[in-house]
Every structure is written in structure tokens, then in C-alpha cells.
Structure 1
Amino acid sequence: MSKYFSPDATQLLQSRRRVLRLGAVAPLALGGGLMGGLTRAAFAQSAATDYRALVGVFLFGGNDGNNLLIPLDAAGFGDYQRGRGRLALDRGSLTAINPTNTGGRQFALHPSMGALSALFESGQCAAVANVGPLLQPLTRTQWQNNTAQTPPNLFSHSDQQSQWQTGTADSSIKLGWGGRVADQIASMNGVQNVATAIAVNGRSSFQQGATVTPFQVSSSGSFGFDAYEAGATDPMAVGFGEMINVARGHLFEAAWNETIKRGITTQQVFQQALNSGPALTTVFPGTGLGDQLRTVARLIQARASFGVKRQVFFCSIGGFDTHGIDQLADQAELLAIVSDAMAAFYRATVELGVASQVTSFTMSDFGRDFPANGSGGSDHGWGSHHVVVGGGVAGRKLYGTFPTLRVDGPDDTSGGRWIPTTSTEQYAAALGGNFFGLTTAQLADVFPRLNRFPAGPLPMF
């Protein structure tokens, strides 16, 4: 059972906004470690008049998009089957999805993604083809002749993770695009809302803004100070209470004490809000990602308590660095986890009455190369395919341009690494800009390199 800093829950609820409006939220002990909080925060009503939430799901390791989205027309599947070798999935295992904007050309999501395939067919899911970091639109000829700028350190996990989370391949931009979007929301309010950016599985650069720093909770929705209750008589509580309540003459020690106290108060306000609503009836899968997205749904349920109109969440799952012979089995298991958790989350937003106001989407380091490697897996690539889910998405469509699946074909750098035909800016700007309702000026501020791509944000909303 969760413990609260104040034994009087009613008093805690009444003082919630005053406490967090006045104080700085500082480091919180979450998930067993001391994590960064906010230096300036408040629960304050957003200038926006409706609610919107973005939920990023990062697939760490570099998901092999070539088996996430597969063409089913005769020519496309023929290229796929010949080029993938031992990584090609059997045609009989694939169930068609029918995008309304591909002239009748059918595709399939991975057979483990049946839950999202069903949402695609019913119009609440879209696929996005061949997305990746770019500095400008790029052709194979330009790549081969080295006549155009390309992102630094291609095919590197850390660099490509950073470029996806910053939403740009420009190394001068260090803040995450989710954080920069949240900065715009904070600027509307004149004060930052601590609940605007929430990370549910560890800290991410995706949500780091100039003024916004993500608040962190565990995947179960618990907090690092749950075990502490003021006035408790057990030795740990007594010792901890003495440590944080003793008068400190040293400036830094006093600041540390106040930081911890505010952190405790803030996490208890979150816990109180989470526990105040009815239990969700939506059943989530008992996986790590399922737990994360269930916690996000509970936080969205508590949005009125937080007084927030715009939220950016970050979840993640690892294991996609599939170089070896086990790739087919490993990826099937991982994509089933992703599909089932994201579909359950969509059902929860329906239950909460916010399905059209919440969008979840995938990101990953990079795609992987097309042919199987010598070990039967695949190696680091570039462009890849992703899914976007929500009632507000213009679903049952394939956005972007699907590549020609041929080594040394028009979309290949070499060895089956696809040159992206849609930039991360165009993908992110549709989500963080069009869906969140940023003005043209705000969109340009968040994505200053977007003007390099004349097609602009993907028309997903």
C-alpha cells in the first residue's frame, strides 16, 4: 500500500497546487536511483482548451523494419523473398492490410502484430515507410558521389538514438523534440507543469527541453519514496526523517534537504492522483511494455488532477539488436509485445474517452540491412518503418514512400541499407506539431531544419 507524506489525504489534495506552484521539484529517488526532476514546476492550467497526449515507444537496438512491413503484390513480395534469404517470412503466415492510399497495393505487418493489423484495418493505425535521420532529401546518386550532406556517424546506435530523439540529424541540436514541444506548452502557461513530460522507463533525451525536464515514474506507477511516511516509528523512517528535517547551516546541504522534501511531496501528489480514480477495466498484457503503457493510461486518467492539457510520455523496450541466428524468433516475440501493448493502450484511451486525443508511435535507432548476414541475422541499417496509433490518426494509410527492395536498387546506399525517403523531422513535426496544435511559428522553432524538406510534415492528422 502506498504511503503519503501527509497523513491527512484531504489536506494533501487541497494543498497540491499551492505546493507545486510555489516550489521547485527536484531530484526524485525513482526506480532505485536518484533521478533528475524539474527545477521549475507547477500544476497550472494549460492555455490549450482541449487535451492532447503523445506517447513515444522507443524500440532500442534498431528494429528490422524489413519484417515489420512487407509488400504483398507479386513484384514487391518477389523482391522481398529473394533479397531477404533466410530472414524472409512465409507468404502463408502473412495477413494483408489494405491501405486506402496505395492504389490497391497490399502490405502486411509482421504476423506477430495481429492486434495492430486489426486496428489498421479499422482505421486507428497507420504505417510510415522508410523514415530516418536526414540533413536534406538524398538520392542514391548523391550518396555515391558524395554531393550532399549526410548525418554524422551513420549506423551507430548511440548517434542514431540521439538523432531520433532530438528529431534532427543536426549535431548542434541537443534537446529532445518532445522536450522542445513541451517547452512551447510551458511558454503558453508562463510556468512549467511538472506533469507535461513524464518518462515511464528511465530518463530520455527525447523529453529534455530548455525549461522542461521529464518527471520519472517506474513502470508500475510507483515512486522511490513510497516506503517513507512522516511520523512512522520504524528505524529507517526515523533515520530518514532526521536526515531531511535537521537544520542545516551549510547552503548546499540545506538546498539538498529542500530538494528531497519537494521531491517527496511531488511524488505523493502523483501517487494520490493515480489512486483517486476508478480502476481501469482494460486488460493490459503482463509485459514490461504493457506495464509502462498501463501506467501512462493511469496518468492520463488523472489529467484533471494535474491540471494539464498537453502531455508527452516516453516508454521503451530493448532487444532489437538482432545480429544472430535467433533474429526471427526474437523479433517475433518482441513485435508481439509491442503490438499487444499498444493495442491495449488504445483500448484504454477508448475507455477513458480520449481515443482521438492520444497518439502513440514507435521510434528506433535505425532499420537493418536487407539481406541476412552470415549469422542469419541482420546488421545496422538506416531507414525503417514505423506505426502510429490513435483515434485522431488518419489511419488505414501508408505514409512516406516504400523503398524498392533490391540491393543496389534506387534506395540502397550499399548492401541493402535504405536511404530514408522521409526525415525524422517530417515524422516528428506531424506528431509534435500538427497533432499538438502548434502554430507555424512554434513549429519552426521546434523543428528549425524542417524547411529543408519541401514536402513538410506527414499529413497523418
Structure 2
Amino acid sequence: MTKKHIHCRDAYPLSTSDLMPQLPDPARRQLLKMMGATGAMGAASSFLAPLTALAQTTSGPDYKALVCLFMYGGNDANNLIVPRDTAEYGLYRTGRSNLALQQNALLPLTTTPAPAGSVDPARYGLHPAMTGLANLYTQQKMAVVANVGPLIAPVTKAQWNARSVPLPAGLFSHSDQQDAWQSAIYDTAGRTGWGGRLMERMVAEGSPNRGYACISMSGGNLWETGDSSMLAYKMSSSGSFGFDFYKADSATDPLTIAIKQTLADQRSHLFHQAWLTTMGRSIEMQQVLSNALKSSTVGTAFPNSDLGRQLNTVAKLISARASLGLSRQVFFVSIGGFDTHGDDQMQQQQRLFGEISQAVSAFYQSTVDMGVANGVTLFSASDFGRTFASNGQGSDHGWGSHQFVVGGAVKGGQLVGTLPNHTLNGPDDTGSGRWIPTLSTDQMSSALARWFGADSSVINTVLPRAAAFNALDLMA
């Protein structure tokens, strides 16, 4: 994603050195470096409700967490869920040409026992790199949500051709569809995310440690941006902090003393004082989370991949939930590399799907080990699906896609919705296998929000298009 930076030096004539007491050069350089490095991480904190010390209450038995796993670039889910029956696989093989997976390599979607009304397990299979997720499906801890995408209203192919119903803006565009998935605003640019809007209403203003209700392991994101004061607190995937050298209780460490003196200074210039306040709150927030993580006990082994490290840190934060006293949290993790126009798609997906499967499996196991599996739900999202037809090398930008939802409260072992007819230029195809979604992202999101504890009035506010669609039976 492209990030835009606004430079306003003339309007904000602040030099860090102007704010600092005189220090020996090495300590001075370290302080400058670390303040610069943590500026992005702490920038959000000036907008948050006043922090408290570690909450003395526990999160209680009602704790719930949502984890959004975003696959940047547009995952080609045509190779995530693949037909296995002879007739449908024949259509798949013809339409995919060089991108088709071997039928005998697919992992069957089987359950023990199969839930009533679930899809025939002989009909579909998972990508062969998804062994961990296939096991979760078998255990009925994972569900597949088929052919889901942004919709303002239900759309048929005839309505698509006639443009007789409103369509989401910016279809097939990376940035527009990333925003659409994360914001649930489809007819204009989204400025807030449905996760952040949900948390504005689920965690009361002024609640202890409210600033940690939304935590991102993957930098800034729209999904956790609220419509009032809620913003994501950003951490590194390792769980480390930029001000690790700061010793809050020390009365002798010269660098700590210098920071305390600097932050205690009062400035008449509005922007000077705002800078000091923001930096002070960033350090304070770090101290709260750092102390909370010290109480974390996660013994589950995680893969040493970037996504594995992100989800390991999320697990540690969930383990420390009692220290923060929050009953609701949302987390954002991501993995990139899905913009597979080129001839590396098969190898790229093999690697990426393997990383996802291993990391998500470990994460689910960690929730079991912590005794919170029924209170933690992870769901996937991506820019869009990709074309069913090959472009000769990889695949191009599409629309409808398949997602997965994992957790103890998921009605797992089922494929929710309907996979598209795999006939090119068929009833579900806008061209080249750009599937018209048969489920709206709002149906998936509102099912998660209901499980999270949101009532109908909150859901209708957070997901304004949800009322146009039938409810999805996804969560217990």
C-alpha cells in the first residue's frame, strides 16, 4: 500500500534538539534516534482516552477477541478452494490451464461427523499446502465462506450487464478494495474501519486501558480506525518497543533522567507541547503493555515466519488480558505477496499458503492451551479474488473470493455460501472469471460482530449495508 507523507516543517518548526537537555553525545544521539523511531508507533496515543496504570480487574469469562488476517495483493482463492468432483474439476482444469492444481493433490474437506446440511466433502478440497487448516476443518474449528465480496445490493449477471443496481466504487483496484473490505463503505472512500467503529461502541470511553482495545502487528490499517477516538496501537511483530532502554523506576540512569526532564518541561508553543505530550503518552503506553506482557505465558510453539511472529505476539497479548482488564479486543495481522500477475503464482501461493496454515494452526492451538478458544476468532480478508482464467502466466484482479474463519465458536466443518459456476463467461462471471459475489462482506462481518456481542442497532451503525442481506449462520 502506498503511504502518503505530509511535510509541514514551516508550520511545525520543532527541532528535537531544542527540547532536550544537554547530554553527552552518545546518549543524545541514542535519544534522538529512539524518539524518531517511536514517533510513528506513538503518534496515535495523543488521541486516546487518558491512560491508567495496570487495571486491577480481570477480563473475566466474557473475554472475546477478533483477529483480522489480511492478505495484501489480492489472494487467488480459486486455488484455495478447488472442486474435486469429476465434472466440476473438468471445468476448473480447462479454465485455469497453467494455474490448475492436480486433482489428487487436493486436501479433502472432511469432518467427523459432518454437520447437517454441510457440503459433500467429495466435492471440494483445499490447496495442498494448507494441511493445518484442513485439520482444523476436520475438527470443525474452521469454516469456509465462499464467493464473498463487497456488495451494495445483491447482483445478478443480468443486472451487472445492465448496470441496473448500484455497484461498489473502484472495483478491481487494490487500494479501493482494500479500503472497501476494511471500512465496509462501498460507494465512496472509507475514512474509518468497521473494526474500529465496532470497538468505539463495545469499549466505553474512559475505560481503563482502552487504548489497547485495537492493536496492530502490521502498522497502520483502516480496519481498526474508529469514527471517534479509537485508533490502532501499533507494535512490531516481535513485540519489542522502541523505548526499551527507558527505565521508568530508575533515579540514576542518565538517559532516563534526561527523558523525564524533557517530558516534564512545559512549552508555550502549542506544537512544541503537543510533541512532548505525544511522546510522553507513547512511553506511558509502552510501559503498560510491556508490564502486561511480562505476565504472559504462552508455551505453544509458533513457526519462525513473519506471520508466525505476529500471531505469537497476539497470543501473548491475549494471555496478558487480565492485566489490561479489557473484555473486548481486536487485532490486525497481515501477509503480503498475493499480487500474482506473473509466472511465479504457483510457487508463491505454495509458500504463502504454507506460512498461513502453519501460523494459524499454531495460533488456534495457543488459544486452546490458554483455555480461550471459544472466545477468540480469526478471519481472513484480502483485496479481492483474482481472475479464474490465467493471463498466460498468473492471474489478474477479480472480485468475489473465498475466505476462512477459525475459532472454537465457529460453526466449523462447513462451507458457507455457494461457490461460483466454474464456466468461463457463465452465470457468475463478469469476464475472465471475475466472479460476482453471492455473499456480501457485510454478511460475514455482521456474523462476527453478533458473536462479538454487538446488538442490531450497533451492527446497523457499524455496517450500514448489512440490513440489505440475509444473516449468515457462521458462529455458535
| TM-score, with length taken from structure 1 | 0.88
1:122 to 139, 158, 174: 139
- Farther off after superposition, 99-108 or 398-407: 99-108
For residues 46 and 383 of structure 1, what CA distance do their matches in structure 2 show? Answer: 41
1:341 aligns with 2:359: yes
Equivalent residue, structure 1, for 2:474:
459
1:435 aligns with 2:451: yes
For residues 389 and 277 of structure 1, do their structure 2 counterparts lie closer, same or farther at Cα, with a shift above 3 Å needed? same
Spell out the pairing of 1:301-450 with structure 2 (5 A cutoff). 301-374=319-392, 376-431=393-448, 433-450=449-466
For residues 143 and 326 of structure 1, what CA distance do their matches in structure 2 show? Answer: 32
Contact 2:177 2:383 in 1 (8 A): yes
1:39 to 41, 44, 48: 48
Equivalent residue, structure 2, for 1:85:
97
1:264 aligns with 2:283: yes
User: Aligned partner of 1:361: which letter?
Assistant: F
1:73 aligns with 2:118: no
User: Aligned partner of 2:410: which letter?
Assistant: V
Secondary structure at the counterpart of residue 126 of structure 1 = strand
Residue 87 of structure 1: CA displacement? 0.2
- Which structure 1 segments of 5+ residues have no match? 1-26
**1:33-55 C-alpha deviation (Å, 9 max, x unpaired):** 65422421446779996010000
User: Aligned partner of 1:460: which letter?
Assistant: M
For residues 451 and 256 of structure 1, do their structure 2 counterparts lie closer, same or farther at Cα, with a shift above 3 Å needed? same
- Which structure 2 segments of 5+ residues have no match? 1-34
For residues 305 and 173 of structure 2, what CA distance do their matches in structure 1 show? Answer: 28
Secondary structure at the counterpart of residue 423 of structure 2 = coil
- Aligned residue-pair number: 431
For residues 343 and 247 of structure 1, what CA distance do their matches in structure 2 show? Answer: 50
For residues 34 and 417 of structure 1, what CA distance do their matches in structure 2 show? Answer: 41
User: Aligned partner of 2:475: which letter?
Assistant: M
Secondary structure at the counterpart of residue 244 of structure 1 = helix
Equivalent residue, structure 2, for 1:297:
315
Secondary structure at the counterpart of residue 339 of structure 2 = coil
Residue 397 of structure 1: CA displacement? 0.3
Secondary structure at the counterpart of residue 314 of structure 1 = strand
Equivalent residue, structure 1, for 2:10:
none
- Farther off after superposition, 409-418 or 172-181: 172-181
Residue 195 of structure 1: CA displacement? 1.7
**1:266-314 C-alpha deviation (Å, 9 max, x unpaired):** 1111011101233x21000000000000000000001010000011000
Contact 1:31 1:218 in 2 (8 A): no
User: Aligned partner of 2:455: which letter?
Assistant: T
1:61 to 73, 97, 102: 73
| TM-score, with length taken from structure 2 | 0.85
For residues 323 and 40 of structure 2, what CA distance do their matches in structure 1 show? Answer: 26
For residues 325 and 335 of structure 2, what CA distance do their matches in structure 1 show? Answer: 29
Secondary structure at the counterpart of residue 390 of structure 2 = coil
- Farther off after superposition, 246-255 or 313-322: 246-255
For residues 30 and 113 of structure 1, do their structure 2 counterparts lie closer, same or farther at Cα, with a shift above 3 Å needed? farther
Contact 2:49 2:206 in 1 (8 A): no
For residues 31 and 72 of structure 1, what CA distance do their matches in structure 2 show? Answer: 51
2:173 to 130, 153, 156: 156
For residues 84 and 115 of structure 1, do their structure 2 counterparts lie closer, same or farther at Cα, with a shift above 3 Å needed? same
For residues 79 and 35 of structure 1, what CA distance do their matches in structure 2 show? Answer: 51
Secondary structure at the counterpart of residue 321 of structure 1 = coil
User: Aligned partner of 2:313: which letter?
Assistant: T
Contact 1:28 1:34 in 2 (8 A): no
User: Aligned partner of 2:85: which letter?
Assistant: D
1:174 to 191, 205, 211: 191
Contact 1:29 1:223 in 2 (8 A): no
For residues 413 and 157 of structure 1, do their structure 2 counterparts lie closer, same or farther at Cα, with a shift above 3 Å needed? same
User: Aligned partner of 2:201: which letter?
Assistant: Q
Contact 2:70 2:335 in 1 (8 A): yes
Secondary structure at the counterpart of residue 457 of structure 1 = coil
Equivalent residue, structure 2, for 1:285:
303
User: Identity of aligned pairs, percent?
Assistant: 45
**1:423-460 C-alpha deviation (Å, 9 max, x unpaired):** 111111111x221021121111111111111x123433
**1:373-412 C-alpha deviation (Å, 9 max, x unpaired):** 13x1000000101111001100000011111111111110
Residue 31 of structure 1: CA displacement? 8.9
User: Aligned partner of 1:435: which letter?
Assistant: W
Spell out the pairing of 1:93-242 with structure 2 (5 A cutoff). 93-98=105-110, 100=114, 101-103=118-120, 105-171=122-188, 173-187=190-204, 193-210=210-227, 211-229=229-247, 231=250, 240-242=259-261
For residues 303 and 81 of structure 2, what CA distance do their matches in structure 1 show? Answer: 23
